[in-house]
Amino acid sequence: MITQELLCPESIVVVGASNNVHKPGGAILRNLIAGGYAGELCAVNPKEKEVQGVKAYTDVAQVPDTDLAILAIPAPMCPEVVEILASKKHTRAFIILSAGFGEETKEGAILEDKILKTANQYGASLIGPNCIGLLNTCHHSVFTQPIPNLNPQGVDLISSSGATAVYVLESAVMKGLQFNSVWSVGNARQIGVEDVLQYMDEHFDPEKDSDIKLLYMESIKDPDRLLLHASSLIRKGCKIAGIKAGSSESGMRAASSHTGAIASSDSAVEALFRKAGIIRCFSREELATVGCIFTLPQLKGKNFAIITHAGGPGVMLTDALSKGGLNVPKLEGPLAEELKSKLFPGASVGNPIDILATGTPEHLSITIDYCENKFDNIDAILAIFGTPGLVTMFETYEVLHQKMLTSKKPLFPVLPSIHTAGKEVDEFLKKGHVNFADEVTLGTALSRIMNAPQPAANEIELFGVDVPKIRRIIDSIPEDGYIAPNYVQELLSAAGIPMVSEVVSGSKDEILSAAKRLGFPLVAKVVGPVHKSDVGGVVLNIKSKEHLALEFDRMMAIADAKAVMIQPMLQGTELFIGAKYEEKFGHVVLCGLGGIFVEVLKDISSGLAPLTYAEAYSMIRSLRAYKIIQGTRGQAGVNETIFAEIIVRLSTLLRFATEIKEMDINPLLGTPKSVVAVDARIRIEK
C-alpha cells in the first residue's frame, strides 16, 4: 500500500543518522537537508544530541509522532523499531535501507516477515528493505548521488535494484534528463514495481503527473497486473520503457518441442511488453536515451534528416536508423540545390546534410529551416555537432536552442563533445534540453520506439472457434503427454485452423489403400517419436505404391514407432506457429519461418495469448523474414491475412485449453491463396 505519509510526509525520522556522510544514515540525512525538505526532521543516534544540525534522540521511544521513518540500522534491530514507531508514534511509512534480510538468509527472511506483518497491521507503507530509498519533489530520501534536477513533469523511475537506479541516474543526468521521482523497491516485500505502477495508474492526473515511466525489473511477480496498469497508463497518454534483466534459460533445456526449445521466459517478457505497449530496452544507456526521446515532441513519421559537420557520425546514424526500419530519404531537386547554394562549396545536401567543418551557425539555422518548412518528406531532424577544440560551440548550440523552441518537427541534438565542449553542453542542458551524445544509441532507441506496437485491445476473438467442442476434446483425452494425431486434427479443426488431409494407421494395407484416395506424390511420417526428422521418420515426394510400402516397413521398425501418417505432397513457403505455457504469464505464442529455419535462424516473434488481429499482424511484420512472406525476387508470397487469422485462432484455442503446455505447427505451407497446417504436435498436462 502507498500512503500519503510515504509520498509527502509532514515529518521524517532518520533512525541510524550519522555525522559521517559516507555512511547511509549520514548521506540520507544530508540529502534530505540539501533537498530543502520542508517538514519536521529529527534523528535517532544513541551517541549524539544533534546530527548535522538536526535534533537527535537516543532511542525511537523518545521521538515525537512521525509520518515517515527511514531505517539505516542493522537488520536484526529493524522489526522492534518498526513495531515501536507504528504502534506508539503513528508512523505510517517506512523506508528500510538495511541489507541482511531475505536476500541473504532464511533468518533474514523471518525478520522481513515480522516487519511486513507490522506494517500491514497498521496500514503503513513499506519500501525495501535493501534499497537506496525514495526520491521525489517532496523529500530526497535516498543516500546516494547524483540527485537529478527534479520537477513534476520529469521522469518517474521505478527500479528493483538500487545500484541500477543510481547508474541510470548517472547516465540520465549527463543527458539532461529531469526526474519527478525515483523509486528503489529493493526486496519489494510489500511494494514492488507493479504496486507503484498500479498506484500511478489509479491516481493519474494528466494535468499534474509525469507521463514518462522508466522501469528496471529483475523479476515480474504479477504479469497480469503489470500488463493491466502499464497498458492503462499508456492509453491515458503515458510513455513507458523498461528493462527486464535475469531472464532464465532453464526452461529451454527441459523442453522437448521446437517451440519449447525456442520459447524461454524471455519470450514471455517480450510478449508481455509488446501486449502492454512498453518499449523494451536492454541497457541502462538505452533506457536513459529512450527517456530523453520521450521528452521531445512525438514522432509522426519515419523519415529523418541528418544535419552534421562531420561525415562519419552521419553515416553511422544513417546505418542505425536503416537497420531499425527507419528512413533517411534522399534530398534532391530544386529545393535541395537551393539549399546547397546557401552553404559553402563542397557541402553535401543529399542526406545526411554535411555543412562541412567550416560551416557556420547561420548555415545550421538555414538548413534546419529547410528541413522544417520546405522538405515535405522529412518528419524529424537530427543535428550532430561537436568540436575538436579549435572553436567554441556557444553560438551553434544557441541556434539549436532557439530552433528547438519553435520547431514543429522533433529536433534531436547530438552533441558528442561532452568534455571538449563541456561548458557549452552544460549551458545547453541548463536551458531545459536533453543531449544524445552517441548517435548510434539514439538511432537504436528511435527504432525501438517507432516499431513498438500500441497496447492491445482487451478482447478475445471467438468467431469460427468452437469452444465447447475444444473442451469436449480436451476432457476426452485419456492421459498427459503428446496426444495422438486424431486429437490434434480434431482440436485444430475446432479452432478453425485448416490442415492438410492425412491418414494414420499401423496397417500397411490401410495406408496403401488410403494412398490411392489421396493421390501421389505423398509425404510419409512416423508416428510415435517426438523428433521425426532426427530418426529418419519423414520421407517426401513418394510417387509410387511400391516406394510407400518400403518406407512403411522401414518406419515401423524405428524405435517407439506406433503408426505411419501419410499426406498429399504440397508446395509453398514453410511457416511456423508454436506456443508454450509460461508460469504466471500464460501461453506465449511464437511465429516465424518454418522447417529448419525456426531452429537455425531463430527469427521468431512472440505474443501473449489471447491475441487480437492487430497483434498478429504486428508479430508477422516484425520478422526479419517478412519480405519473404510478402514475396521477393519473383517468389510467391504468403496470404498474410490467413496467416494472421491462424495465429489468432490458435491463441483463442489456448485460452480455453490451458492444459496445453507445448505445441507447434511446423510447417504450415503458405501460398498467395492459402495457409495450411502440415504437421502439428501438442503436449498436454491435465
Q: What pLDDT was estimated at residue 249?
A: 53
Residues 87 and 175 in one domain: no
Of 568, 602, 634, at which residue does a domain stop?
A: 568
Residues 253 and 310 in one domain: no
Rg (CA), the chain: 31
The pLDDT tens digits for 21-58 are 999 999 999 999 999 999 999 999 999 999 999 999 99
SS3 letters across 275-318: HHCCEECCCHHHHHHHHHHHCCCCCCCCEEEEEECCHHHHHHHH
Residue with cell 525515483: 182
The pLDDT tens digits for 267-277 are 899 999 999 99
Assess contact for 663 and 609: CB atoms under 8 A. Answer: no
Q: What pLDDT was estimated at residue 258?
A: 42
Q: Which residues of 77-116 are buried (b: 16+ CB within 10 A; e: fewer)?
A: ebbebbbbbbeebebbbbbbbbbbbbeeeeebeebbeebb
- What does the pLDDT average to over 240-251? 74
Residue 458 resides in a domain: no
Answer whether residue 252 shows pLDDT above 60: no
Answer whether residue 137 shows pLDDT above 90: yes
Q: What pLDDT was estimated at residue 217?
A: 93
- What does the pLDDT average to over 466-474? 96
Residues paired with 69 in a beta bridge: 13, 94
- What does the pLDDT average to over 161-181? 95
Residue with cell 483463442: 652
Residues of the chain with pLDDT > 90: what percent?
86
Residue 195 resides in a domain: yes
Answer whether residue 122 shows pLDDT above 70: yes
Residue 446 resides in a domain: no
Residues 341 and 281 in one domain: no
Residue with cell 534491530: 77
**Identity of residue 189:** R
Answer whether residue 100 shows pLDDT above 70: yes
Residues 310 and 195 in one domain: no
Helix (H) or strand (E) holding 26: helix 24-34
- What does the pLDDT average to over 472-482? 95
Residue 45: give the domain boundaries.
Answer: 4-135
Average pLDDT, the chain: 93
CA distances from 393 to 173, 385, 426, 679 (A): 21, 8, 11, 64
Alpha helix positions (H), 324-357: 334-341
CATH number at residue 101: 3.40.50.720
CATH number at residue 644: 3.30.470.20
- What does the pLDDT average to over 439-452? 95
Which of 222-236, 368-382, 621-635 is predicted least confidently? Answer: 621-635
Residues 81 and 128 in one domain: yes
Residues of the chain with pLDDT > 70: what percent?
97
Residue 37 resides in a domain: yes
Residues 578 and 564 in one domain: no
Backbone angles phi, psi at 641, to 5 degrees: -65, -45
pLDDT band at 596 (very low <50, low <70, confident <90, very high): confident
Q: What pLDDT was estimated at residue 247?
A: 61
Residue 444 resides in a domain: no
- Give the Cβ contact number of residue 640 at 10 Å: 18
All cell numbers assigned to 326: 527507419
Residues 560 and 589 in one domain: no
CA–CA separation, 179 and 158 (whole Å): 11
Answer whether residue 561 shows pLDDT above 60: yes
Residue 517 resides in a domain: yes
pLDDT band at 253 (very low <50, low <70, confident <90, very high): very low
CA distances from 673 to 37, 572, 590, 617, 633 (A): 68, 10, 22, 17, 19
Assess contact for 180 and 151: CB atoms under 8 A. Answer: yes
- Give the Cβ contact number of residue 450 at 10 Å: 17
The pLDDT tens digits for 528-538 are 998 888 899 99
- What does the pLDDT average to over 197-212? 96
Residues 322 and 406 in one domain: yes
Answer whether residue 134 shows pLDDT above 90: yes
Residue 162 resides in a domain: yes
Residues 559 and 662 in one domain: no
CATH number at residue 519: 3.30.1490.20
The pLDDT tens digits for 221-235 are 899 999 999 999 999
Answer whether residue 174 shows pLDDT above 60: yes
Q: For residue 646, which of 622, 623, 669, 627 has the smallest C-alpha distance?
A: 669
pLDDT band at 264 (very low <50, low <70, confident <90, very high): low
CATH number at residue 232: 3.40.50.261
Answer whether residue 254 shows pLDDT above 50: no
Of 102, 135, 168, at which residue does a domain stop?
A: 135
CA–CA separation, 84 and 122 (whole Å): 11
Residues 160 and 113 in one domain: no
Q: 404: Cβ–Cβ under 8 A, 6 or more apart, which residues? A: 411, 413, 433
Q: For residue 60, which of 80, 74, 40 has the smallest C-alpha distance?
A: 80
Residue 361 resides in a domain: yes
Instruction: Work out whether strand 212-217 and strand 150-159 pair parallel, antiparallel, or are unpaired.
Output: parallel
Q: What pLDDT was estimated at residue 661?
A: 96
- What does the pLDDT average to over 480-498? 94
Number of domains in the chain: 5
Of 294, 324, 339, at which residue does a domain stop?
A: 294
Residues 545 and 638 in one domain: no
CA–CA separation, 44 and 513 (whole Å): 90
Answer whether residue 265 shows pLDDT above 80: no
All cell numbers assigned to 671: 501460398
- What does the pLDDT average to over 521-546? 91
Answer whether residue 557 shows pLDDT above 70: yes
Residues 329 and 289 in one domain: no
